[in-house]
Amino acid sequence: MKTQYRQSVRFLLIILLVAGMSPLQAQELERDDANAEYITVSGVVKDKQNKKRLEYVNISIPGSNSGTITNEEGEFSFKIKDASHVKAVEVSHIGYYNKVEVNGNNISDLTVWMTPYENMLDEIIIHASDPRLIVEQAIRKIPANYSKKTNMLTGFYRETAQKGKRYINISEAVIDVYKTPYNESADRDRVQIYKGRKLLSQKKSDTLAVKLLGGPNMSIYVDIVKNPDVMLDLECLPYYTFKMEESTNIDNRPQYVISFQPQVIMPYALYYGKLYIDKERLSFTRAEFNLSMDDRNKATQAILKKKPFGLRFRPLEVAYLVTYKERNGVTYLNYVRNGVRFKCDWKRKLFSTNYTIISEMVVTDGREDNVGGIPFKMAFKESQSLSDKVENFMDEDFWGAYNIIEPTESLDSAVNKLKKQQK
């Protein structure tokens, strides 16, 4: 039986009363480096049939490590180094696929129209398959399907904290992620902050500070293929029921879609969600899952480490998204996202306040050659909060050539909002 500590994915919220807060800080979202040799392709991705914007769409160069992802508004900005060798940018999403010709030129305000695939899959074969057996086979094929080498990934990580609909904290960083081969455990995997920046509200009513401990380490612990203790341990599969859903395509490859939900009661909260498994390779390409709220006390124990006496905490949702990308026959981590929604109120107050914590990381580059480890003293610790540590890594001239996730609301806009609210 796995411990509750390991099942909680090691993400813990800490809620504090803060008497004084750090000064409001922010830099411009992008600063151009005159010496950087790159082009920028930016725009929005939409469904051609219903005109809706598509979130979490992969943007990458075919066959390379370089990439980013669209935000919740379907917007993206992708910076390409050595662009003279790049002819097209790949745009892919569940049930869609497209390419954008670049030919070494900057492209801005581009609208990418994605056409859904026709479902040409063999339904008889799909429904005749045992979904749990497919999951078991995919687990056993992890050492063959995923990287057998040590990797050093470059990622863009962002945390946002919202009180109602208003941002009270935005922290973001470029991180290095050291990953050992996928036939080894994640015990030696580490994360190091390279550069960072933040924006923090000074409004007195925001002195209830919500912090996410170990946030950048999400790239280690929410990698459910490398860290099977979350749910992909063969011993844990009997805790869940599995159901075959309608198949789909990702990157022009047919996928099994298998939903799962708890069928037993454990001392800790379990999960429910969907797994996407490549039909040919039997590799996990995507996982969408939520912490079960059937027992809110168990859910609270999984995510809350500390709160002030007299403050009532009620979790509403804990959601995860993990995606992987195949390159030259090997599958790599691509994107992870965690969203936590909860209510807080004092025992004698009539109304409660809604909070939302979003953390996400996209792999923007990576290498396998001459990879050295991250020393323990340099690694980001589970007990640390990025919003507390990020000031040590600020460099306002750094961000020009690095790929990021476009913010749904720009930092400049968030700064202006906070300044107006302080008057």
- Where along the chain do its domains lie? 4-26+122-422, 38-114
The identity of residue 160, as a single letter, is T
Band the pLDDT of 422: cuts 50, 70, 90. Answer: very low
pLDDT at 385: 87
pLDDT at 195: 86
Q: Is the dihedral of CA 3, 9, 14, 15 positive or negative?
A: negative
pLDDT at 414: 57
Q: Say how many CA atoms lie within 13 Å of 389 toward its Cβ.
A: 21
How large is the C-alpha radius of gyration of the chain?
21
Q: Which residue has the higher pLDDT, 266 or 387?
A: 266
Q: Does pLDDT of 411 surpass 70?
A: no
Q: Does pLDDT of 280 surpass 90?
A: yes
Give the percent of the chain with pLDDT over 90: 36
pLDDT average, residue stretch 188-206: 76
pLDDT at 1: 41
What would the two tokens of residue 321 be?
């998204």
pLDDT at 144: 94
Q: Are β-strands 353-367 and 330-346 bridged in parallel, bridged antiparallel, or unpaired?
A: antiparallel
Query: Please, which residues bridge with residue 88 across strands?
Result: 101
State which of 179-183, 198-202, 388-392 shows the largest mean pLDDT. Answer: 179-183
Mean residue pLDDT across the chain: 80
The identity of residue 24, as a single letter, is L
pTM of the model: 0.84
pLDDT average, residue stretch 401-417: 66
pLDDT at 27: 36
Band the pLDDT of 327: cuts 50, 70, 90. Answer: confident
Q: Does pLDDT of 315 surpass 80?
A: yes
Range of weakest confidence among 40-44, 297-301, 407-411: 407-411
Range of weakest confidence among 2-11, 175-184, 292-301, 310-319: 2-11
pLDDT at 404: 78
Give tens-digit pLDDT for 99-148.
666 666 677 778 888 887 765 444 434 444 799 999 999 999 999 999 99
Band the pLDDT of 196: cuts 50, 70, 90. Answer: confident
pLDDT average, residue stretch 292-312: 88
Give tens-digit pLDDT for 160-184.
888 887 788 888 899 999 999 999 9
pLDDT at 17: 52
Band the pLDDT of 22: cuts 50, 70, 90. Answer: very low
Give tens-digit pLDDT for 53-75.
989 888 887 777 788 889 888 89
Q: Which residue has the higher pLDDT, 20 or 390?
A: 390
pLDDT average, residue stretch 278-289: 95
What's domain 38-114's architecture?
Answer: Sandwich (2.60)
pLDDT average, residue stretch 240-266: 93
SS (H, E, C) the chain: CCCHHHHCCCCEEEEEECCCCCCCCCCCCCCCCCCCCEEEEEEEEEECCCCCECCCCEEECCCCCCEEECCCCCEEEEEEECHHHCCEEEEEECCEEEEEECCCCCEEEEEEEECCCCCCCCHHHHHHCCHHHHHHHHHHCHHHHECCCCEEEEEEEEEEEEECCEEEEEEEEEEEEEECCCCCCCCCCEEEEEEEEEEECCCHHHCEEEEEECHHHHHHHCCCCCCCCCCCCCCCHHHEEEEEEEEEEECCEEEEEEEEEECCCCCCCCEEEEEEEECCCCCEEEEEEEECCCCHHHHHHHHEEECCCCEEEEEEEEEEEEEEEEECCEEEEEEEEEEEEEEEEECCCCCCEEEEEEEEEEEEEEECCCCCCCCHHHCCCCCCEHHHHHHHHCCCCCHHHCCCCCCCCCHHHHHHHHHHHHC
Q: By C-alpha distance, which of 96, 95, 91, 100 is closest to 59?
A: 91
Band the pLDDT of 97: cuts 50, 70, 90. Answer: low
